[in-house]
Chain A
Amino acid sequence: MTDDLLPPIGMLAELTHRCPLQCPYCSNPIELMKADREMDTGSWLDLFDQAADLGVLQVHLSGGEPTLRRDLEEMVSKLSARKVYTNLITAGVGIGEGRIEALAAAGLDHVQLSLQGTNPGTTELIGHYKGGFEKKLETARRVRAAGLPLTINAPIHRHNIEEVPRFIELAQELDAERLEIANVQYSGWALVNRDALMPERAAVERQADIVEEARERLRGVLNIDFVTPDYFAIYPKPCMGGWARDAFVIAPDGGILPCHAARTIPWLEFERFGEFDLAEIWANSSALNAFRGTGWMQEPCRSCERRELDWGGCRCQAMAIAGDAAATDPACMKSPLHARMRQFAEIPHQAESAGFHYRRIGAKPV
């Protein structure tokens, strides 16, 4: 237990790692779990009850592709009965007839639909799934027809950064209320594919101007969230709003993680729901307590006036680039490794069409 312990507000539930898409920047871990490791319906429902008791107010039902779980409606019903806000995070392909309507009837609050591109070409290049674009548009229409509010999530990288203006138009055409222009976070699969995904600085700067102009022009019409690109930043993001501060991730097998990439920190050990109650794990997990609050910080974070704004940034990025999970996130200009991180972004990329390592179960890249 630490003095920094608050009840969690948000929970990202990775219901499954199965997904029809193979995006090379997937936030799931490199070692994807097969279906036989997923928790059963009863365990998920029990977890949701305990989460609500503990203070969780919002659950993001994610994956992989969460609609591959046939018990999704049951989960939504349970959460809705507990007055927990439910957000479905979907790729929007392969969703059976009547499913969106059934989820709405079960009490679903909101849908976030990912778009890989604004046309079939980009969408198929990234998702590696034929006909994906048309299916996604159809899902968007069904979501709105069911009366559900819609957010479009657009992960941005060099292959679609010039499509940002079209993403903004398309979000409006699809009657979305929110658009996330989310520059790819380079951990997991995205780190493996970093050279093939990294945009050029000039494009990043154009993008920032385009988003700023659109936000002003579309005030009160479309909310645009801009997830800035770490490799071109001067300060890090407050990753997860602080490690195990008010949100956590649950993996398909019930593993409780502070964020979806935390397994890249090799010495952390994670408890699984079922071995212990959620409240016990939230309070006592050594992994959750490893970087909670500010006590773990080294310099320059320890004495930084921003330490409770950005919470030292991303631990997994510190691990990946500095080789030390307790180091300052190298996205920060105060990090001694900031220049090296810049280099990764500035290296000219020859990998224009060069092979992505597509995300696939059992396809762990060497």
Chain B
Amino acid sequence: MRPERRRAFVTPASRPRLRRHVRLQFDPVRNAWALLSPERVFWPDEVSLDILRRCDGQATMGEMVSALAAEYDADEREVAADVTAFLQEWTDNLLVTL
């Protein structure tokens, strides 16, 4: 038997990455980035894209937050709250793994 799957929770040490069956790719027909997953296509906005592109399994959530806060010149605590909520939702939807 496989180990039972459990819900994963985002922490600053998480190293999120897109699941193997999820693809982020540029669509030249619509001139936009598309995220392809089983049965669904998502059209992430600019902020979501900035987060998803950093989900490479290398960077920790904490590092992502620092980088994003610097890039957007925003308060790190606010960015951390937004990114955590975003990644938790995407993890719960089985699009991102931690």
| Separation of A291 and B91 alpha carbons in the complex (Å) | 38
A85 touches B36 (CB 8 A): yes
Interface of B is mostly: loop
Q: Is B21 an interface residue (CB 8 A)?
A: yes
Interface hub of B23, B30, B39 (most chain A Cβ within 10 A): B39
A55 touches B94 (CB 8 A): no
B7 touches A220 (CB 8 A): yes
What are 21 A-B interface contacts by the 8 Å CB criterion?
A: A54-B29, A55-B27, A55-B29, A57-B41, A58-B36, A85-B36, A87-B38, A87-B39, A109-B38, A110-B21, A112-B38, A149-B20, A172-B4, A172-B5, A175-B5, A178-B38, A178-B94, A220-B7, A220-B91, A221-B6, A222-B5
Residue of B nearest to A177 (CB): B94
Q: In the assembled complex, how far is the CB of residue B11 from the closest CB belonging to chain A, in whole angstroms?
A: 14
Q: Which size class do B's interface residues fall under?
A: 20 to 34
- Name A45-65 residues within 8 Å CB distance of B: 53-55, 57-58
Residues on B close to A: CB < 8 A? Answer: 2, 4-8, 19-21, 23, 25, 27, 29-30, 34, 36-39, 41, 91-94
Contacts of B94 in A (CB 8 A): 177-178, 220, 223
A219 touches B38 (CB 8 A): no
B23 touches A85 (CB 8 A): yes
B29 touches A110 (CB 8 A): no
Q: Is A118 an interface residue (CB 8 A)?
A: no
A57 touches B27 (CB 8 A): yes
| Separation of A204 and B76 alpha carbons in the complex (Å) | 48
